[in-house]
Amino acid sequence: MTRKLRSNFERGTSRWAVRRSQWKALGLTDEDMEKPKIAVVNTSSELSSCFSHLDGVAAKVKVAIRAAGGLPFEVRTAAPSDFITSAGHRGGYILPTRDLIVNDIEVAVEGALLDGMVCLASCDKTTPGQIMAAARLNIPAIVVICGYQRSGKYEGKHVDIEEVFLSAGHVAAGRITVKALTGMSDNAVLGPGVCAGMGTANSMHIVCEALGMALPGSAPVLANSPKMMEHVRRAGERIVAMVWDDLKPRDILTKEAFANAVMAILSLSGSINTVKHLQAIAVEAECEVDVYGLFEHYADRIPLLAAIRPNGEHLIEDFEAAGGARVVMKRLEGSLHASARTVTGQTVREILRDVVAPEQDVIRTVDDPLSRRPSIVIVRGSLAPETGIVKLGVGDTRTLQFSGRANVYHSREAALEGLAKGEITRGQVVVLRGMGAKGGPGMAMASALVFALDGAGLSEHVAVVTDGQLSGLVNRGLVVGEVLPEAAEAGPLALVENGDLIVIDVEKRVVNLEVPQTELAARRARPQKFVSPDEKGWLSIYQRTVQPLSKGAVLRK
């Protein structure tokens, strides 16, 4: 442990002197100032229960870092919650805040030239933002999975936040009362942590472990449980050793690691949002990998091993008890890239060597899976030349082909109003555009319309095509989301008019606009504008600098 630390400045220099003055005022000793200096990245916030426990977790991490011979410094970032921060600007702040977190971390950690960092992973965008920052800065980093929330019961049945989210779309159609929805809401969240299902947060926690950026066996985990706190302690201890060993994120975030993460998500019908987040992490790591291509490559190769609510009947607690991500990886061992390194210093092969995958029904084997049909499907075609994503339900037996005439809307509010007026009818393909990363800006959430269609009993009788973001939890009916190029980037979606024929064939992986090229050329000569010129503040900066989703929707360098 004699490696020179970048945080230790030459004695007698200006930087050494002024830093010493600042830190002496904090009660630090000269001996402290020679230790590895570790950022504890905390996304604490009182706005959401997702983050309400993180101050306590940060305190535990700091104790562990000190015990291991390090010097912790807690730093804060923005803390977006999809259910809270999505209220403003049509949900446009959610995705952009992921990249704000990346830059928050860069300013605090790189500006101070700290030696390593522990990231407290919680809600949907904080986890990818933290790994993106780790990949960009490329200093020793470890992610601590900070757990899922306890859920409850209503009228004798299990209820969690996902069911509240979905059921809210049924109120307008009279399929559920406000009183019942209120009762569900009262009982859905009984403690801190992320949504208790296989939504984006738990999916990204599993991604952390599959990538090798979190300690083995740490995902998923009940928030504030003894098991979680033990991983907190071990992570604080491990980061100090990682600094001395100079084990960096780009040693871990290889093409093989990204493939392992994709296989894990496919085996669990995880959130489609993991696709763009993994691509963003790859871009920040300067790793030349096409994550969309990986999902295509493995779609028919990796079977579905578990169906966790809302994909199936098993609870996230059942999945944790069955062994979680580590047992999933053991089941997939024959397909994984076993030589990939992890934050432990070991390879995936070494980690899985002594793992026993017991016989149980929650996590099936590759020889006896729940299904061999992929639940995350990448589609392309004349309407989506680059890509589109379809999330299929587990055990879904409905047809995967749909053709219908377009009914075009430019905002979810307009589409919801059209639904209320009876404009949306059976056999149509509802086109919701101008909602992508640039057009939103920030990818407005299209799921409100999807759930409202379900509430109106139309989800099996219409299709939806959008460049907006879809729920990482579950979608109803046939929905092609995150279409690229988006309308604001002059993609074909911008040329669709009411009455155009759209053909979707998920089996063939295509979504096509059946309009003659001569007609499309004429429409292209009179393009519409899908980028608001009136944005201000952070969203204006984001709109001017964001890259397409195919590049992870990272900000332009």
Which residues are designated catalytic? 471
Bond prior to 485 in cis (omega within 30° of 0): yes
Q: What angle do CA 325, 328, 334 make, to 5 degrees?
A: 130
Structure tokens at 330: 């053991």
DSSP 109: I
Would you tell me the crossing angle of helices 200-211 and 126-137 to the nearest 10 degrees? 30
State the virtual CA torsion across 54, 328, 208, 244 in degrees, nearest 10. 100
**Where is 181: in which H helix or E strand?**
helix 178-187
349, 212 contact by CB (below 8 A): no
How many angstroms separate the CA atoms of 237 and 47, rounded?
30
Crossing angle of helices 255-268 and 291-298, in 10° steps, is: 50
Other C-beta atoms lying within 10 Å of the C-beta of residue 543: 21
CA separation for the pair 374, 378 (Å, rounded): 10
List CB contacts of 81: < 8 A, sequence separation 6 or more: 45, 47, 48, 50, 51, 123, 124
> Are the C-beta atoms of residues 99 and 554 closer than 8 Å to each other?
yes
CA geometry: angle at 195 spanning 193 and 198, to 5°? 130
**Which residue bears the tokens 């590895």?**
36
* CB-based contacts of 230, cutoff 8 Å, min separation 6: none
The residue type found at 520 is L
String of b and e for 3-14 (b: at least 16 CB within 10 Å)? eebebbbeeeee
Question: Distance between CA 339 and CA 346 in Å, rounded?
Answer: 9
Q: Would you give the distance in Å from CA 246 to the centre of its chain? A: 28
Q: Mind giving me the DSSP string for 364-422?
A: -BTTB-SBSS-SEEEEBSSS-SSEEEEEPPTT--S-SEEEEEEEEESSHHHHHHHHHTT
Exposed/middle/buried for residue 556 (C-beta within 10 Å: 0-12, 13-18, 19+) = exposed
**In whole angstroms, how far apart are CA 472 and each of 275, 325, 388?**
11, 18, 15
